[in-house]
Structure 1
Amino acid sequence: MTAALQRVCVLGATGSVGMNTLDVISRHPGRFEVFALTAHSRVDELFAQCVKWRPRFAVLPDEATAAELRTRLKKEGVRTEVLSGAQALCDMASHPEVDSVMAAIVGAAGLAPCLAAARAGKRLLLANKEALVVGGALFMRAVHEGGASLLPIDSEHSAIFQCLPEDRTGWPSRIDHILLTSSGGPFRRRDPATMASITPDEACAHPNFAMGRKISVDSATMMNKALEVIEARWLFELLPEQIKVVIHPQQIVHSMVVCRDNSVLAQLGTPDMRVPIAYGLSFPERIESGASQLDFATLSALTFEAPDFQRYPGLALAWETLRSPEGSTTVLNAANETAVAAFLAGTIRFDQIHSVIAQALDAIDLRASGSDSLDALLEIDHRARRQAAQFVKGLAP
């Protein structure tokens, strides 16, 4: 039986996840149609994608860059309609002709279109951690009420998802805890006393993946794993103490489920984002991803170790914020984005990223704040960014 054509909207098409999504789609002509592509600042890359894929729509954040892209596409004879602004992202994510949405926008900016896709009942391939870190209960409520199919794309969460039965009825009672694996980033063996001298280029040199600079810094601080702990709490309906992290430098075991009877289920494979992307696009089927097969005969060792919280102080904030008032995870994410941007700009040191986040969490009183609407969450987000920016100023030389 031939699968029905699936129309796909790729939010964040020029990033690594977006490009890998298009690579998987290219391997299955006739199965997928690229309906809409969006980007933040990489106009040249989006132009090339539009020329190749001829999507119905393309979206950029402002009218100036959108006008530039329109002009260039018109010269090439490409009839893609170019839109601009945050509302256009939501319109594409919820468009009635779209079947699947790849949510690969980095940061809190991805929350609104993710909510739009969820409320419209789309197959939502979630690569945007912040939708759950910032949105949490609000986002999951939108998924349930809209009837959306939520497929995690982070390799760790996809691994957990693949280890669980398709019938989710009563599954939380069957597991003891989950183990999210982490490479440990580029500084797993570095003396914590030398962290102050780390440069942005060093922090962006991930040992296994080529990623964007912000995500690479999050990997180096292990804040990415803190965000994934929070994400897992909502995706899998777990208590904070049921989520654990283990360092696995080879990144062959992508994550594990420890069952009540102490049996362990794990998903293994080469470290290639195309595997969870292909799984999300085709679930419950499996399609060719382009990733190489795992050759067990060539594996010298699979090693595991506990994370060093002195080396990665931000990691502990995941469990702390999950036990704190609602909105705390929103503050954590906003302060981290602000601090990482300041580090990449050379304004603060690598070892000061955590101090900015911790100070913002201490400074913002959430007791009188609501968190049951997008506007309320965005207000907390704005407050946290302003507060974190003040702390960055105080640290700047």
Structure 2
Amino acid sequence: MRLSEFDFDLPEDRIAVRPARPRSSARMLVARGDRIDDAVVRDLPDWLAPGDLLVLNDTKVIPARLSGQRTRHGAEGETTARIEATLLEPRADGTWSALLKPLKKVRDGEVVVFSDQLSAVVEGRSDGTAHLRFNLAGDDFDAALAQAGAMPLPPYIAAKRPADAQDHEDYQTIWAARSGAVAAPTASLHFDPFLMERLAARGIEIAYVTLHVGAGTFLPVKVDDVSEHKMHAEWGEVSQGAADAMMATRARGNRVIPVGTTALRLIETAATGRGEIAAWSGDTDIFITPGFDFRMADALVTNFHLPKSTLMMLVSAFLGADRIRRVYDHAIANDYRFFSYGDASLLIPE
């Protein structure tokens, strides 16, 4: 497969820079086989059957973007440099892997001060990232990061406007519980209390899993031969309770429907056979492209993805390349909003 097979032209004004308000008022394209319907997210329960199970990712986005200053004392006096940091993931030794700009302005052993409360020592680097050891840990670190950090908006939004206080709410799901993501599971951003109440009244069941979405989700595919692309690993967990809920759903003849590609990638990683899944935790770098054998996901709620992205490959695998092309043509022709803060789709294969 060639990268060009997953390309399409998207008008610049279709990239959403703010979400719909209220959240569940966003539009929702419903694709069932060859049929396409235009709907609204708040009506999602009407497209589901009582007893269907939605699988939700309960990861919590950390305000991972930091702006700080490095100070250096030398023969010529004191010099300072502005340092921008994006936290990527915690490491086993207690440091954080982070992108620093400009990395060459910082030496190992130097301190970068981000606020009166928060600072970090650079303790090495690898593969273009720095290893930061912060002066705080646990709840104290979380509190200081919440004060000093900004939400790590995707590049296609950050290029249009800086993150602000509203993004702390907008770029977080209403059920976010387990800190560790540097990107939101964006299909879940459409869910609000009103929609959750409608789902419960319809008899739709809920199971929570965790996949800490990493910055690798934004990395472009740089190889023309798709099979040569290397996915960035992300940590995830499917609890015994969530696995049992999915197995019970399948046993009674209902559907397992992940909300978002993160939840789908996780449950397909944990699947042990067709319609079978077990508790699982660890790092996953699953790469889903056309020809993939889906074993757990019966339908998918997801946003509209970037051209030539791994997520475009995933939805092409899920619905079929020809069908997904028609879906995206319809979305563009009918003014759907794209990407993280954009509209939703419900994809139901034949």
> Is TM-score (shorter-chain normalized) higher than 0.5?
no
How would you bin the TM-score normalised by the shorter chain?
A: under 0.3
TM normalised by structure 2 equals 0.27
Work out which structure has the larger RCO, using CA pairs closer than 8 Å and 6 or more positions apart in sequence. Answer: 2
TM-score, structure 1 as length reference:
0.25
Choose between structure 1 and 2: higher strand proportion: 2
